[in-house]
Amino acid sequence: MEMINFEDLGDSRGGLVSIEEHKNVPFEIKRVYCIYGVKKNVSRGFHSHKNLEQVAICINGSCTIVLDDGLIKRSAVLSSPKTGLYIGKNIWREMHDFTSDCVLLVLASELYDEDDYIRSYSEFLKKIENIRGVT
Ligand code: TYD
């Protein structure tokens, strides 16, 4: 899992982190969205992206993100505004265990495009096999 640690710029007054494209986030940030108020026992995600790169930062509460590259599934608990999880292209992601106060901020390298999504796990595995086949 590629975790990004944002420098703690806090002082005696409280916390502060700064996020800058191409500095501590490895792409141009074209879109920012926020997942919040997730109902109890609800999981989200269950898709991959053909081109999109993202960084997910849990700025309040906590949640678990599972990343699957088609071979290995890894999971991380996000619970701090000081930590971002990099999610590359062609990675299946699932988000679980949202606390009711969880606010997940997501930075994205592209504008929203439904055609960039793969929402079927079998299609995702096929795509991964094709990628592996040509490299
Ligand atoms: P979706 O990406 O499926 O949510 P998640 O992966 O978190 O479960 O998005 C849910 C809906 O919101 C879907 O209809 C697409 C829409 N949406 C946008 O219009 N713009 C966006 O930036 C995002 C992330 C979603």
Q: What length does the chain have? A: 135
pTM above 0.85, yes or no: yes
Tell whether ligand 1 has an atom less than 6 A from the beta carbon of residue 35: yes
C-alpha atoms less than 13 angstroms from C-alpha of 133 in its C-beta half-sphere: 6
38: CA distance to ligand 1 center in Å? 13
Give the whole-angstrom CA distance, residue 12 versus residue 55: 28
Please give the distance, rounded to the nearest whole angstrom, from the Cα atom of residue 30 to the centre of ligand 1. 15
Going by C-alpha positions, the residue among 29, 63, 70, 33 that lies closest to residue 48 is: 70
pLDDT tens digits for range 64-111: 999 999 999 999 999 999 999 999 999 999 999 999 999 999 999 999
pLDDT score for 62: 98
User: How does pLDDT run across 17-60, given as a tens digit for each residue?
Assistant: 999 999 999 999 999 999 999 999 999 999 999 999 999 999 99
